[in-house]
């Protein structure tokens, strides 16, 4: 986002500094599936019936989402199916990044992801990963201790009908981002091998990490917005989160 970003979905590979965005993918997020090419697939997904899963187009460009309720099937990003309802003007990137105002200074959004390790130092990023235990509190505690961001919490929350722990992250004021691995673009919080996906906390970003246990497995829902985001858009983001229902 902003000058140091391209379209949502670009990110960093080990040893390479490239442009970053609200949610950053490694090269794997751009790999085509074994099905038809993006160009041959519909531009939008159709709102689903109550029991029909929706698989969104894995496109590097933002794809409009028709307003409605969608059943998102379990995948490398999610340990369970979940349902979510989108109002108008939302888009999807890479098949699982759900965004509003994509590529604008007030971009905001969320995605589901499986997280087993975080960077030992968010400023140094790709140099070293710290694996965390399988529990909700294991990940929450690791995020609270991670050098680089200012972490607040843990806060009690609900998501998808399950009790959750929320950790809020911003970039610490005493961190010189220009000296970090991403050279001013943000902090690398984690890398998720199943999703081949990085999470980059932006300089003016406010992120919330919702951690929940579903049938003995840990699931994360991540939101991030930037300082220009309006109160109305934040309320809408919360409405979308409140619409999530996890199917164990």
Does any domain span residue 2?
no
- pLDDT tens, position by position, for the chain (248 residues)? 332 332 233 233 333 333 345 666 554 454 433 333 333 333 344 444 445 888 888 888 899 999 999 999 999 999 999 999 999 999 999 889 999 988 888 889 999 999 999 999 999 988 789 999 999 999 999 999 999 999 999 999 999 999 999 999 999 988 999 999 999 999 999 998 887 888 999 999 999 999 999 999 999 999 999 888 899 999 999 999 999 999 87
218 forms beta bridges with 213
3-class DSSP state of 241:
helix
Does any domain span residue 110?
yes
Does any domain span residue 163?
yes
Tokens of 157: 């929350």
CATH number of the domain where residue 117 is located: 3.40.1000
Domain holding 233, by residue range, is 24-30+58-247
Tens-place pLDDT, residues 83-136: 999 999 999 998 899 999 888 888 899 999 999 999 999 999 887 899 999 999
Asked whether the CA dihedral 153, 148, 25, 108 is positive or negative, the reply is positive
Length of the chain: 248
Does any domain span residue 122?
yes
Does any domain span residue 1?
no
Q: CA dihedral in degrees (104, 105, 106, 112; nearest 10)?
A: 70
Does any domain span residue 16?
no
Burial profile 95-113: b = 16 or more Cβ within 10 angstroms, e = fewer? bbbbbbbbbeeebbbbbbb
Residue in 25, 9, 159, 194 with CA at minimum distance from that of residue 83:
159
Contact 20, 186 (CB under 8 A): yes
Number of domains present in the structure of the chain: 1
Tens-place pLDDT, residues 196-213: 888 999 999 999 999 999
Does any domain span residue 35?
no
Does any domain span residue 78?
yes
42 CB neighbour count, 10 Å cutoff = 8
C-alpha span between 23 and 17 (Å, rounded): 15
Residue 238 C-beta-side C-alpha neighbours within 13 Å: 9
């Amino acid at each position: 986002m902003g000058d140091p970003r391209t379209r949502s979905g670009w990110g960093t590979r080990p040893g390479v500094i490239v442009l970053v965005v609200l949610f950053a993918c490694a090269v794997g997020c751009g790999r085509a599936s074994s099905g038809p090419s993006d160009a041959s697939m519909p531009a939008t997904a159709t709102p689903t019936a109550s029991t029909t899963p929706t698989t969104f187009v894995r496109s590097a460009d933002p794809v409009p989402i028709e307003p409605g309720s969608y059943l998102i099937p379990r995948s490398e990003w999610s340990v369970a199916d979940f349902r979510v309802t989108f109002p108008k003007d939302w888009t999807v990137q890479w098949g699982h990044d759900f965004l509003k105002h994509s590529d604008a200074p007030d971009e905001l959004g969320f995605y589901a992801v499986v997280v087993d390790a975080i960077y030992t130092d968010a400023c140094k990023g790709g140099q070293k990963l710290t694996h965390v235990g399988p529990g909700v509190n294991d990940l929450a505690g690791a995020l609270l201790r991670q050098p680089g961001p200012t972490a607040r919490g843990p806060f009690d929350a609900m998501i998808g009908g399950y009790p959750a722990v929320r950790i809020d992250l911003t970039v610490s004021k005493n961190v010189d981002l220009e000296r970090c691995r991403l050279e001013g673009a943000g902090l690398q919080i984690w890398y998720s091998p199943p999703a081949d996906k990085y999470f980059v906390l932006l300089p003016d970003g406010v992120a919330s990490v919702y951690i929940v246990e579903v049938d003995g497995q840990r699931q994360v829902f991540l939101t991030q917005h930037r300082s220009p985001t309006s109160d109305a858009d934040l309320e809408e983001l919360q409405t979308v989160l409140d619409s999530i229902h996890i199917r164990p």
